[in-house]
Structure 1
Amino acid sequence: MELAQRGVSNDLKVQAALDFAKKLVTQHGQVSRDDIGLVKKAGFSDAELAEILAHVALNIFTNYTNVAFDVEVDFPKVSLS
C-alpha cells in the first residue's frame, strides 16, 4: 500500500502506466508523442491508454465535485508518507 500511495510499482508495466497518469495530471493533459511511445513500449494498447486517461479524468472530476460541493469525508484520513 505504501508503494501504491507513492505511485511506485515493482512491475515495470504498471510503473509506466503510473508515470503516464502522473504526467497527465501534472502537465494538464499535455503529454508528448514520446510519453505515449513509452507507455506503448511497456505493452499498452491505444485502448488501454485511453482507459488510463479516462481514469485520470474521472478522478479529477470527482475531486473537483467534492471540493466544489464541500462533500464531507466519511472515512478515516490516511497519511501519504
Structure 2
Amino acid sequence: TAVRTGAPVGDAKIDALVTFTRAVVLNKGFVPETAVAAFLAAGYSKAQLLEVVGHVGLKVLANYTHALTGAPLDEAFQPQQWGAPELEVA
C-alpha cells in the first residue's frame, strides 16, 4: 500500500528501490543521473538497475496484454487486486 500511495516504506534501501523504479516509469527510461546515483549509493548494483528495467518491461507487457484481452485475474491474486482510475482512450 505504501508503494502505491507514494508513502515511505520505512526501509531506506527499499525506499531507494521504489524511488528509482518510479523514476524509470515516469521518465520512460530517461532517468536522471542523480536518480541512478542515489540507487547505486543505496547499495544496489548496475546489474540490479537493469533488473528493475526488466521488471518494468514485464509489467508493461502484462498490463497491455490484460488491457487487450480482458483476461481475468487469477483467484490467488484477488486479494491484491487494484482498480486503476478510468482512463480516456483516444
Please identify, of 11-20 and 24-33, the stretch whose mean Cα deviation from structure 2 is larger. 24-33
- Name the SS of the counterpart of 2:9 in structure 1: coil
Aligned twin of 1:40: 40
TM-score by length of 1: 0.81
Report Cα offsets for 1:47-75 as digits up to 9, x if no partner. 11111111111111111111112212343
> Rg: which structure is higher?
2
1:61 aligns with 2:67: no
User: Aligned residue pairs: how many?
Assistant: 79
Gaps of 5+ in 2: 85-90
| RCO comparison, higher one (Cα < 8 Å, 6+) | 1
Equivalent position amino acid for 1:6 in 2: T
Distance in 2 of aligned mates of 1:60 and 1:25? 10
Distance in 1 of aligned mates of 2:82 and 2:67? 18
Distance in 1 of aligned mates of 2:83 and 2:42? 31
1:12 aligns with 2:21: no
Aligned twin of 1:3: 2
Aligned-pair identity in percent equals 28
